[in-house]
Amino acid sequence: MKRVFLIVLDSFGIGAMSDSESYGDVGVNTLLSISKSEKFNVKNLKDLGLFNIDGVTCGEKTNTPTAAVCRLAELSRGKDTTIGHWEIAGIVSDKPLPTYPNGFPAEVLDEFSRRTGRAVICNKPYSGTEVIKDYGEEHVKSGALIVYTSADSVFQIAAHEDVVPLEELYNYCRIAREILTGEHGVGRVIARPFVGEAGNFKRTSNRHDFSLAPPAKTMLDYIKESGLDTISVGKIYDIFAGAGISEYVYTTGNTDGMAKTVEYAKRDFEGICFTNLVDFDMLYGHRNDVDGYAAAISEFDKWLDEFLLLLREDDILIITADHGCDPAYTVSTDHSREHVPLIIYGKNVRPQNLGTREGFCDIAKTVCDYLSVDADIKGESFIKEILN
Q: Please count the CA atoms within 13 angstroms of the CA of 158 that sit on its side-chain side.
A: 30
Tens of pLDDT along 158-182?
999 999 999 999 999 999 999 999 9
Last residue of a domain, one of 148, 183, 211: 211
Domain membership of residue 334 as a residue range: 3-95+213-386
Q: Predicted confidence band at 301 (pLDDT cuts at 50, 70, 90)?
A: very high
206 shares a domain with 217: no
User: 211 in helix, strand or coil?
Assistant: strand
Tens of pLDDT along 329-345?
999 888 999 999 999 99
Tens of pLDDT along 49-103?
999 999 999 999 999 999 999 999 999 998 989 999 999 999 999 988 999 999 9
Last residue of a domain, one of 188, 211, 234: 211
For residue 100, tell me if it sits in a domain. Answer: no
321 shares a domain with 296: yes
176 shares a domain with 221: no
Tens of pLDDT along 248-290?
999 999 999 999 999 999 999 999 999 999 999 999 999 999 9
For residue 149, tell me if it sits in a domain. Answer: yes
Q: Of all residues in the chain, what percent carry a pLDDT higher than 70?
A: 100
pLDDT of residue 332: 85
User: 125 in helix, strand or coil?
Assistant: strand
Question: Averaged over 31-48, what is the pLDDT?
Answer: 98
Q: State how far the Cα of 289 lies from the Cα of 284, in Å rounded to an integer.
A: 5
Q: What is the total count of domains within the chain?
A: 2
Look at residue 36 and tell me whether its pLDDT is greater than 90: yes
Question: Averaged over 224-238, what is the pLDDT?
Answer: 97
196 shares a domain with 252: no
217 shares a domain with 207: no
pLDDT of residue 197: 95
62 shares a domain with 136: no
pLDDT of residue 333: 85
Q: State how far the Cα of 373 lies from the Cα of 362, in Å rounded to an integer.
A: 14
For residue 141, tell me if it sits in a domain. Answer: yes
Give the CATH number, domain containing residue 23: 3.40.720.10
Look at residue 205 and tell me whether its pLDDT is greater than 90: no
83 shares a domain with 122: no
Look at residue 109 and tell me whether its pLDDT is greater than 90: yes
For residue 311, tell me if it sits in a domain. Answer: yes
185 shares a domain with 155: yes
Last residue of a domain, one of 192, 211, 230: 211
- In the sheet where 315-320 sits, what is the strand order? 247-249, 229-233, 271-277, 3-9, 315-320, 340-345, 68-73, 352-358
